[in-house]
Amino acid sequence: GKVRAPTHIICTISDDRGEEPTYGGVTMSELMEGDANVGDAIGLLWFKRRLPRYATKFVEMCVVLCADHGPCVSGAHNTIVTSRAGKDLISCLVSGLLTIGPRFGGAIDDAARYFKQACDAGQDADEFVEALKQKGVRVPGIGHRIKSKDNRDKRVELLQRYARKHFPSTRYLDYAITVEEYTLQKAANLVLNVDGCIGALFLDLLSSVGMFSPAEVQEVVDIGYLNGLFVLARSIGLIGHALDQKRLQQPLFRYPWDEVLYTK
């Protein structure tokens, strides 16, 4: 029989060997004829399937809505400082991306994990929140530095509105909202934030599209696909900030002394 040398790597998502490249077996021509968007590319390359239109549109909405949130947030700040230090575009981008984590933009996977476990177990919101508090864990997907009960996050509103109109079910979002109702009784800034909203809605999307088995949904949650959405989206804004500083020929950044509390 044929003797096959062992391969160095395995790839199951794309192929560049034929006349035209494919994503998940779909040719570039088919993608272009079908008016494919970023959601289609993510569907094929991350989730390894063609997502229905309402789902790819939702993915695109997440990317557009999370692309930037002004210059003051952690990521943009780092990118701006790096750009002003004269560094190249990729260094500026990466220095901003490195701030994405459990407090900033990188709470989507944990929000999905915690909401899924609690909702599937039928745990009441108050029990869920109090159990995390006992462990000293902040509820991922809840809380914001500037958004609050009376100053809602428009992005969260827009995503919810779309899901209620187009998703077959919003079971996990509904659960996350019961959590928010409870945390808002504690403090006005403990709103469902954009990470939490995307985490809950992705659970709804994957569970209701009818293409993901419960085990596959669990795999997405366990591996942690969803922070990638924020990383992808925010890269757009971070690149914008890096270029903005260069265009404005901003000098090296240095904090004024009176912005620092020097103390022993």
| Per-residue interface string for the shown chain with ligand LMR, residues 216-235, x marking contact by CB under 6 A | --------------------
190 part of the interface to ligand LMR, by CB under 6 A: no
> Which range binds ligand ACO by CB under 6 A, 48-56, 86-94, 135-143, 158-166?
135-143
| Per-residue interface string for the shown chain with ligand ACO, residues 68-107, x marking contact by CB under 6 A | ----------------------------------xxxx-x
> Which residue minimizes CB distance to ligand ACO?
143
Buried b (16+ CB within 10 A) or exposed e, 133-151: eeeeeebbbbbbeebbeee
Residues 124-163 that bind ligand LMR (CB under 6 A): 145-146
Closest CA to 98 of 84, 78, 124: 78
Q: Are 230 and 100 in contact (CB under 8 A)?
A: yes
Residue with tokens 């400082």: 81
Of 83, 193, 207, 227, which one interacts with ligand ACO (CB under 6 A)? 193
Q: E strands along the chain, which residues?
A: 14-15, 22-23, 26-27
Of 79, 143, 182, 229, which one interacts with ligand ACO (CB under 6 A)? 143
Q: How far is the CB of 4 from ligand LMR (least distance, A)?
A: 48
Interface with ligand LMR (CB under 6 A), residue total 5
Long-range contacts made by residues 207-216, C-beta under 8 angstroms, separation at least 24? 207/169, 207/171, 207/172, 208/167, 208/168, 208/169, 209/51, 209/52, 209/55, 211/49, 211/51, 212/47
217 part of the interface to ligand ACO, by CB under 6 A: no
Residues of the shown chain interacting with ligand ACO in the complex, contacts defined by CB under 6 A: 102-105, 107, 138-145, 187, 189-190, 193-196
